[in-house]
Amino acid sequence: MTDFKKIISHAKEYGFVFPSSEIYDGLSAVYDYAQNGVALKKNIRDYWWKSMVQLHYNIVGIDASIFMHPTTWKASGHVDAFNDPLIDNKDSKKRYRADVLVEDYCGKIENKIDKEITKAAKRFGAAFNPEEFKTTNPRVLGYQEKINTILKRLGQSLEKEDLADVKALIEELEIACPESGSRNWTDVKQFNLMFGTKLGASAESAMNLYLRPETAQGIFVNFLNVQKTGRMKIPFGIAQTGKAFRNEIVARQFIFRMREFEQMEMQFFIPPGTQKEWYEEWKKTRLSWHLSLGMGEENYRFHDHEKLAHYADAAADIEFKFPFGFKELEGIHSRTDFDLSSHEEFSGKKLQYFDPERNENYVPYVVETSVGLDRMFLAVFSWALREETLEDGSTRTLLKLPAILAPTKIAVLPLVKKDGLPEVAKKLMDDLKWDHAVAYDEKDAVGRRYRRQDALGTPYCITIDHQTLEDQTVTLRDRDTMKQERVALDSISGILNEKLDIKNWLKSI
């Protein structure tokens, strides 16, 4: 995988992601999506929405506000329990998330496992079976055992709110401050992650509000409105995409962890007692959504939570192999009836469902799927970016985005800027633009234009040359294979519609 710094600079150079307010030297961990980034982000969002809402007759979407009545966050438990365990290094004065320090330590042990596997693969050649090696090699087993023991203890200590033991673990593992190298730590303390703001004209009458730290609560408070007006029958889901805000202390790794980010969440309302099956079902469905993008099964894994959030009776992450290791991409949570029951209690309003099959009223249970749109963007972008050495020894930068997610699907390129070629190219672009995002480029030699489109992730280029004027054919170039074929101008639209049909991707889920 490409070096992380290269990923960040490519994102900027090619108009995907810019640092926010850059002319004022930026704002830490806040980013702006640029002209190509916004299109890639929208395509990811649409792919999620289509698969969740359009393809499920029993899932509908909403768009709730970012501001919510402040009691929402008392009821949801976020005021009391949405905390990160933080620790300060007394020498560097830097603040860290204590659990992340321990997880990063485990990440280093995982790197050692990867090194052992790479060494063994070289030694054994084609006969090498990495799975067998991982489950039999004593050194790898030892490393894995160490990781499991550390993470288990961390999970248990956090679960019990035993922050002294989290500090003890950091000390026992001799974890040093990445900045100062010192092991002079403060105690671990909890820190609430919600951003506060005020609503109202005068200081006296202003109401204290929070910026929502998850989109889910907008769904819970609208549960009954949607159920009644949509005449929804359980099991059914409500989906939503939108911004969430968290005062992350350790916001780093580019758009992986930000203070303002976007979530794509779905709450699935089910009868009590069926949560185990639905939890397993949604784990499967969501993994299959990720795999449908073709980014390699080996780059995903499940991580079952030891420490459960205050609302969950089971939870797992779908982790992706980012350039800095396997990290959470999506969370799947069995949220019990915690949220609806709690909103009932705090609002005094019944949030129940009459189940005609059971002939009873109940507060539904909920299984949630929650994926960060920005994290999904980073997963796709970092996987796609690569340097390729070609047969002639030259190199090319390729952004191998899944075609349906690419910001621009087709670039139309007249070979030269004269002889009537731009006119034919512009006419073709006008025909194609009704179905696809199309770009036009006539600057520089065509080889350089191909390279630029490769770096932007454009899956197809169409070149108009002098032969086009004679026989009404064009060259269609495939980004990944670089193969060029001559096709009839009047067949190009049909060929591309087939290649770029989102249906073909969604059907594999």
Give me the residues that bind ligand GAP (CB under 6 A), please. 214, 216, 246, 248, 257-258, 261, 263, 265, 328-331, 368, 370-372, 374-375
Alpha-carbon gap, residue 214 to 438, rounded angstroms? 35
- Can you tell me whether residue 57 is helix, strand or coil? coil
| Nearer to ligand GAP (CB atom), residue 330 or residue 337 | 330
Nearer to ligand GAP, 373 or 424 (CB): 373
CB contact set of 255 (below 8 Å; sequence gap of 6+): 17, 31, 261, 374, 375, 377, 378
Least Å from the CB of residue 368 to ligand GAP: 6
Taking the complex as a whole, the smallest distance from the CB of residue 267 to ligand GAP amounts, in Å, to 9
Minimum CB–partner distance for residue 405 and ligand GAP (Å): 17
Measure the CA–CA gap between 383 and 405, rounded to whole angstroms. 13
Smallest distance from ligand GAP to CB 211, Å: 12
Task: Supply the minimum distance, in Å, between the C-beta of residue 57 and ligand GAP.
Answer: 24
Rounded least distance, CB 236 to ligand GAP, Å: 18
Q: Which is nearer to ligand GAP, 248 or 306 (CB)?
A: 248
Q: In b/e form, how buried is each residue of 14-26, taking b as 16+ CB within 10 angstroms?
A: bbbbbbeeeeeee
Which is closer to ligand GAP, CB of 214 or CB of 442? 214
For residue 214, the minimal CB distance to ligand GAP (Å) is: 4
CA neighbor of 383 nearest in space, from 330, 327, 321, 452: 321
Minimum separation from the CB atom of position 450 to ligand GAP (A): 34
- Classify residue 270 by burial, with Cβ atoms within 10 Å: 0-12, 13-18, 19+: buried
Closest to ligand GAP by CB, 332 vs 496, is 332
Give the pair of three-digit tokens for residue 83: 């905390």
Count of C-beta atoms within a 10 Å radius of residue 249: 17
**CB of residue 295 vs ligand GAP: minimum separation in angstroms?**
16
The tokens 């992340």 sit on which residue?
100
* Residue of minimal Cβ distance to ligand GAP: 372
Cα 176 to Cα 90, 179, 367, distances in angstroms: 11, 8, 39
Minimum CB distance to ligand GAP smaller for 213 or for 459:
213
Nearer to ligand GAP, 370 or 473 (CB): 370
Environment class of residue 171 by beta-carbon count within 10 Å: exposed (0-12), middle (13-18) or buried (19+)? Answer: exposed
> What is the signed CA dihedral for 467, 472, 473, 479, rounded to 10 degrees?
100
Amino acid in the structure at residue 313:
D
Residues near 291 by beta carbon (within 8 Å), at least 6 away in sequence: 297, 300, 508
| Identity of the residue, 10 or 286, whose beta carbon is nearer to ligand GAP in the bound complex | 286
Contact (Cβ atoms closer than 8 angstroms) between residue 150 and residue 102:
yes
> What six digits make up the tokens of 61?
């979407």
Q: Rounded to an integer, what distance in angstroms lies between the CA atom of residue 461 and that of residue 213?
A: 42
Nearest residue (CB) to ligand GAP, 103 versus 501: 103
